[in-house]
Amino acid sequence: MRPHLNATMLVALALIAACHARESVGVRGELPVPNASLAYVIAGHGADTVIVLHGGPGLHSGYLRAAFDTLAREHTIIYYDQRGLGRSAAHADTTQFTIAQEIADLDSLRRALHIGRATLIAHHFGAVIAALYTKRFPAHVRRLVLVAPSFPSSPYYFWASTEPHDVQANARFFKALASGTDSTDPRGFCRHFWNFLFSPIELTVAPDVERLSGDVCDAPPEALRRAWPINRLVNRSLHGFDLRDTLRTLALPALVISGAVDTATQAATAAWVRDLPGAREVRLSVPGLFPWLDARAPFIAAVTAFLQDSAGTARQVAAAAR
C-alpha cells in the first residue's frame, strides 16, 4: 500500500527534485556585454560561489562540467563560455578578442550576478585570466584553484616547441587545415583536432582526445569555426607576457593541481607554485593536461579539501589527494 502524500510532503519532494535538477543540469542564462553575450550555467546553491574558467583559448566550459559538477552539492558553481565560444555570441570585430577583454567580461559576469567575492577555478589558459583578473580586482577573489595551468611566461613556449612531438598527428592536422576542413566541417575537424588548441603542447593521446571530443565539440558550428581564429587573436594580445611579477602580488590561498606531463609543462607548473605566495601544489601521477580523467577521486578530494579549508596546510591537501 502506497503511503499517503500530503501537500507539505509533495512540496518538499518538489523542492528536493528541483535542487537535484539544478545541480545536474543547471540554470542557464545569457548576459549581454559590449559586442557580444556570455552564456552561463549556474549549478548548485551553496553559500560559497565558484566561477569556473575554461582553457584554450578556443574551448568552452562544457568539457569541465564532468570535473566540477560534484562540487555543486556544497557550492554554487558558475560556468561560462568566453566570448565567441561555445554558446556565447560575438561580433566579427577582431579587436575585441584580447586578454583585457576577457578580464572585463569576467567582471561583467560577476557584477551582473551580484557576486561580491568568488573562488576562481581555472583550467590551463583560464589560469592566465584568473591571475590577471585577481591582480586587477583583488577584493573580488577569495582563492584560486589552478588546474594544469598554462605557461606563466613566453619563454616556456619556446621550450615546449623543442619537446618531442607526434610528427604524424601534426601532419594530419596541417593537411586538414590546408584543405579548409575547419570551415567546411567544423564539428568533424573539432573531433579530430581540438587538441591542437593547446599547441605547442598539443594533446596527441588518441583515447583522451576521443574521451573529451563529445563535450569539447558540443557547440554550434559557427562557434567551432571561430575557435581557431580566437585562439590566435587572444594569444597575440599577450605580447610576450610574463606573469612573474603579477603572481608575486597575489596574497591569497591558491591550489595548483596537475598531472605528470612533459618537462616544459612541469617546470611551468613549478613556476606558478614558486611565484604565488599562498600556493600549495598537488601533482597527481597521471599523464596529461586533464588530471581528472584518470584520477577523478583524488582530484576531487584535493579540490574539496582546499575549498573546505583554504587556510589549511599543503600537507593536508596533498594527503587528501592520495
This prediction has a pTM of 0.87
Instruction: Give the H/E segment covering residue 107.
Output: helix 99-112
How far apart (Å, rounded) are the C-alpha atoms in residues 230 and 56? 9
| Amino acid 309: pLDDT | 80
How far apart (Å, rounded) are the C-alpha atoms in residues 227 and 225? 6
3-state secondary structure of 146: strand
Higher per-residue confidence, 321 vs 7: 321
Each residue's pLDDT tens digit, 136-181: 999 999 999 999 999 998 887 777 777 777 888 889 999 999 999 9
Domains by residue range for the chain, with CATH: 28-161+240-321 (3.40.50.1820)
Q: Which of 122, 134, 138, 25 is closest to 82 using CA atoms? A: 122
How far apart (Å, rounded) are the C-alpha atoms in residues 73 and 102? 28
Each residue's pLDDT tens digit, 93-115: 889 999 999 999 999 999 999 99
How far apart (Å, rounded) are the C-alpha atoms in residues 186 and 182? 5
Instruction: Name the DSSP letter for residue 139.
Output: G
